[in-house]
Amino acid sequence: MTSRVSPQVIPRVGSSHPAEGRFPLGRGTRVSGPHAETARDLLGLDAGGDGPGEIVLRLVTDPSLGEEGYVLTVAPEEAVIAAAGAAGLRWGVQTLRQLHGPGGVPCGTVRDVPRYAWRGVMIDVARWWRPVSFLRAYVDLLSLHKFNVLHLHLTDDQGWRFEVRGHPRLTEIGAHRAESPAGHAREGRFDGTPHGGFYTQRELRDLVDYAAARGVTVLPEIEFPGHSQAAIAACPWLGHPSATPVEVRTSWGISSHVLNVGDRAAGFARDVLDELSDVFPSRFVHIGGDEVRGDEWATSPEAARRVADAGLAGPAALHGWWGRLLADHLRGLGRRAVAWDDMLDHDPPEDMVIMAWRGVDRIEAALRAGHEVVAAPHTHTYLDYAESDAPGEPVSIAGPLPLETVYGFDAGGAVLGTQAQLWGEYLPTRERLDYNAFPRLCAVAEAAWSSGRDLGDFTRRLTAHLPLLDRLGVRYRRPHDEGA
Ligand code: ACM
């Protein structure tokens, strides 16, 4: 018999059968089998413990579990996690961790397989640089909720955060801006405070390793050919002649400056992708591709030459020219390009993964065009949007996007997966980001991992989950924060 009330785990587990008794998980609980050390780390257990109880990790051949599924069988003396490999074992451990309550872990069996292979969270580190310790803390939180992709938005008009050894000016100049908006951008006020920071390749490699040990792949994103004002400020030869020198942008919103389409800019892009691919082993690399303002191309003789040479319909088609150039280069590096769905309007190569953000309809459009798709519609997954429009909410870019709407999102059966977006403009600190991220990220986790929806059951589990978030120091938005 399958229990109707699902176990106290977010995202909701597949099927479960309760049994009598409890497994007394404690610091001294032994762990045996493959990847025992990872399990001990995640559970905070001592090495060489002498009980109570034993956690047994076991590799099994069961095609129905896939790469990430697991079976967890909890009995009073022993908790057995069976999976095909490290990923499934790790998710089983995260389930055990969440099930751990007063008096131990309730006995029973859980069989759990993710709905989607891609379960991501995008964090914008371009608008505000964030400490590596912050990123590690988020890796831990992602792993707890069985997310397997941390998408880092590393560059934008307001900052370039990725060390490129062949182009040091990108971080010397591009990682710093003179000031930032104060209050909402439409108020036109500025804080008068310089902001900057970047990540060395070494720091990023360490982050990649840290994340990999927790089942999370770091997906890097570099924005081409728009959202690139910081790069143009650092290397003016990437841009177009401008009456005023281009500086790292200090206001939010989209820059009118885009990369030019000359051979040197193309070579620059290849250099950046080479170094990026060297640091990030991810099979996928995100090349941005959204919100490209083509005005500079429309009046550029160099762009006109490129249009003619490449046999394009007009300057607007240079958006797609950029996309194909980047995707081709990544293919040569053994990687797959991912781009925001704006690229869909510009003849992208078929192997480009489309991240559909402009609306649910873009998911269908990308699938119809034959692409693999990550569903990221702003209507359901942009957690930088305010949760409510009642007075008392902090300044946000848009909204409202209530928890129930996020929870109710169903990306359909044909996509690679889905992910949450945490754009940074109005989330400069850990505290602000936590507030927007949680608890809605719990809802995205469930939309990404679990099949079916039961809002009542989710709400019950979420209420019981919040103390764990408290213990982990997450400054989530409390239910009573509604409106204030
Ligand atoms: C986006 O929100 N511009 C992808």
Q: State pLDDT tens for residues 378-417.
A: 999 999 999 999 999 999 999 999 999 999 999 999 999 9
Question: In the prediction, which pLDDT does 479 show?
Answer: 77
User: Is 454 a pocket residue for ligand 1 (Cβ < 6 Å)?
Assistant: no
Six token digits for residue 200: 């060395």
Does domain 15-112 correspond to CATH entry 3.30.379.10? yes
CA of 463 to the centre of ligand 1 (A): 32
CA of 379 to the centre of ligand 1 (A): 12
Q: Given the CA of residue 382, which atom of ligand 1 is nearest to it?
A: 2
Please state, for a pLDDT cut of 70, what percent of the chain lies above it: 98
Nearest CA to ligand 1 atom 3: 290
Six token digits for residue 320: 């797609």
Instruction: Output phi, psi for 12, to 5 deg.
Output: -55, 135
CA of 164 to the centre of ligand 1 (A): 24
Question: In the prediction, which pLDDT does 1 show?
Answer: 38
Q: Given the CA of residue 378, which atom of ligand 1 is nearest to it?
A: 2
User: Is 385 a pocket residue for ligand 1 (Cβ < 6 Å)?
Assistant: no
Instruction: Output phi, psi for 320, to 5 deg.
Output: -70, -35
**What is the arithmetic mean of pLDDT over 152-161?**
99
**What is the arithmetic mean of pLDDT over 296-325?**
98
Six token digits for residue 362: 């873009």
User: Is 359 a pocket residue for ligand 1 (Cβ < 6 Å)?
Assistant: no
Nearest CA to ligand 1 atom 2: 357
Looking at CATH, the fold of the domain delimited by 118-471 is given as TIM Barrel (3.20.20)
User: Is 41 a pocket residue for ligand 1 (Cβ < 6 Å)?
Assistant: no
User: Is 291 a pocket residue for ligand 1 (Cβ < 6 Å)?
Assistant: yes
Flag whether pLDDT at 179 surpasses 60.
yes
Q: What is the DSSP string of 148-202?
A: -EEEEE-EETTEE-B--TT-THHHHTTTEES--EES-GGG-EE----EE--B-HH
User: Is 91 a pocket residue for ligand 1 (Cβ < 6 Å)?
Assistant: no
User: Is 62 a pocket residue for ligand 1 (Cβ < 6 Å)?
Assistant: no
User: Is 290 a pocket residue for ligand 1 (Cβ < 6 Å)?
Assistant: yes
Helix (H, G, I), strand (E, B) or coil at 1: coil
Active site residues: 156, 227, 291
CA of 25 to the centre of ligand 1 (A): 44
105 φψ region: left (φ > 0), alpha (ψ -120 to 50), beta (else): beta
pTM: 0.98
Question: In the prediction, which pLDDT does 213 show?
Answer: 96
CA of 274 to the centre of ligand 1 (A): 24
Q: Given the CA of residue 291, which atom of ligand 1 is nearest to it?
A: 3
- Do residues 416 and 374 make contact, with C-beta atoms less than 8 angstroms apart? yes
Task: Return the closest-CA partner of residue 214 out of 120, 116, 146, 125.
Answer: 146
Q: State pLDDT tens for residues 428-440.
A: 999 999 999 999 9
Contacts of 200 (CB under 8 A, 6+ apart): 163
List the chain domain ranges: 15-112, 118-471
Question: In the prediction, which pLDDT does 293 show?
Answer: 96
- Do residues 154 and 126 make contact, with C-beta atoms less than 8 angstroms apart? yes
Q: Given the CA of residue 423, which atom of ligand 1 is nearest to it?
A: 2
